[in-house]
């Protein structure tokens, strides 16, 4: 009888321990919303097709360590902004089913998640299997939420995050807008000719401009801006149309090994932007004029006690092979 009582006591103690240790975890599990795209793994996505009612469709295709973008109508592929693609993949993976707003398909139009009004995103993995099919609707009650539904479901959820704007980009908006990508620390010579003239050369840690020693930090700012120059948009057409057949200005930066980059400037695109291209490619960029103007300071600006502020470029990252 005592043994039976001892077993009963042990059972009660174990049951109490289970209740204390396991029940909180179970409650947390029931409170945590499930993922909308079960099993979706960004690293396994090979292709994304984004269909926007008012902007058409674009196709994002993995290419080596980066991404390319094209349209279904024109298979010409351009280098895509890989960081923007990764941000979209991460946002899709984070979609949850925490807040249901409707299960009625008749209300889809209210949330802009119909085939005619919603942004459809379809992802495929390396085997061609569909790993994601979701319709992105309008923003929720605040700008930091979005109405979404799985393409094969009538259920509409209110998800955290802004998805409509980052995903509904045109082809040019998805393109990589990097114009120049160099390591500024390796630059030893920098030359501007045409409607502006400047020659910078680095000896040890000192920069000289047109033969005169200049403020080292001011010169370094110019080099950093050129080495990470980005565009605002792109233009299509013959080079003559953009004044690039006979450039108004040529800018060249050279590292110690002699392999650098040359930028050619054309006519103004508007009051605030200008056409440009690199010497080794025919892609025409539209670049902010204040950036281009900062690439050719006067010697007085380079030597002033408080150098003119030159926008800094992003830190150097090795160029991915695409």
Looking at the fold, whether 170 and 79 belong to one and the same domain comes out as yes
Looking at the fold, whether 165 and 234 belong to one and the same domain comes out as no
Structural domain contains residue 296:
yes
- Whether 244 contacts 189, CB under 8 Å: no
Handedness of CA 239, 240, 244, 245 (dihedral sign): positive
Predicted model pTM: 0.79
Looking at the fold, whether 131 and 167 belong to one and the same domain comes out as yes
Q: How many structural domains comprise the chain?
A: 2
Looking at the fold, whether 190 and 208 belong to one and the same domain comes out as yes
Of 125, 152, 174, the residue that ends a domain is: 174
- What is the structure's pLDDT at 68? 97
Structural domain contains residue 34:
no
Looking at the fold, whether 204 and 90 belong to one and the same domain comes out as no
Looking at the fold, whether 299 and 196 belong to one and the same domain comes out as yes
d(CA 163, CA 138): 9
Domain that holds residue 280: 184-303
Looking at the fold, whether 55 and 164 belong to one and the same domain comes out as yes
d(CA 53, CA 120): 9
SS (H, E, C) 163-185: CHHHHCCCHHHHECCECCCCCHH
Structural domain contains residue 314:
no
Looking at the fold, whether 88 and 111 belong to one and the same domain comes out as yes
pLDDT tens readout for residues 176-219: 999 999 999 999 999 999 999 999 999 877 889 887 889 989 99
- What is the structure's pLDDT at 146? 92
- Whether 234 contacts 287, CB under 8 Å: no
Looking at the fold, whether 166 and 243 belong to one and the same domain comes out as no
Q: Collect the ranges in the chain with pLDDT lower than 70.
A: 1-32, 304-322
């Amino acid at each position: 009888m005592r043994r039976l009582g001892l077993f009963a006591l042990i059972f009660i103690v174990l049951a109490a321990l289970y209740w204390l240790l396991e029940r909180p975890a179970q409650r947390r599990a029931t409170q945590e919303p499930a993922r909308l795209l079960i099993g979706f793994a960004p690293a396994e996505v090979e292709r994304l097709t984004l269909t926007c009612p008012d902007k058409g469709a674009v196709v994002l295709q993995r290419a080596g360590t980066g991404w390319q973008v094209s349209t279904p109508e024109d298979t010409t592929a351009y280098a895509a902004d890989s960081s923007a693609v990764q941000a979209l993949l991460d946002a899709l993976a984070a979609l949850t089913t925490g807040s249901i707003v409707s299960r009625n398909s008749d209300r889809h139009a209210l949330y802009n998640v119909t085939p005619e009004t919603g942004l459809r995103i379809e992802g495929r993995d390396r085997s061609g299997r569909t790993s994601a099919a979701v319709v992105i609707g309008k923003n929720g009650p605040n700008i930091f939420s979005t109405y979404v539904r799985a393409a094969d479901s009538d259920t509409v959820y209110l998800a955290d995050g802004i998805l409509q704007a980052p995903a509904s980009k045109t082809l040019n908006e998805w393109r990589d807008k990097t114009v120049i990508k160099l390591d500024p620390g390796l630059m030893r010579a920098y030359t501007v000719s045409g409607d502006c003239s400047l020659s910078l050369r680095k000896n040890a840690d000192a920069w000289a401009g047109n033969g005169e020693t200049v403020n080292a930090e001011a010169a370094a700012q110019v080099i950093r801006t050129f080495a990470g120059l980005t565009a605002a948009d792109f233009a299509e057409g013959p080079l003559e149309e953009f004044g690039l057949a006979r450039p108004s200005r040529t800018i060249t930066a050279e590292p110690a090994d002699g392999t650098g980059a040359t930028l050619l400037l054309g006519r103004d695109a508007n009051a605030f932007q200008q056409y440009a291209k690199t010497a080794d490619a025919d892609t025409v960029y539209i670049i902010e004029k204040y950036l281009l103007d900062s690439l050719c300071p006067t010697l007085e600006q380079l030597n002033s006690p408080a150098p003119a502020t030159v926008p800094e470029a992003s830190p150097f990252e090795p160029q991915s092979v695409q």
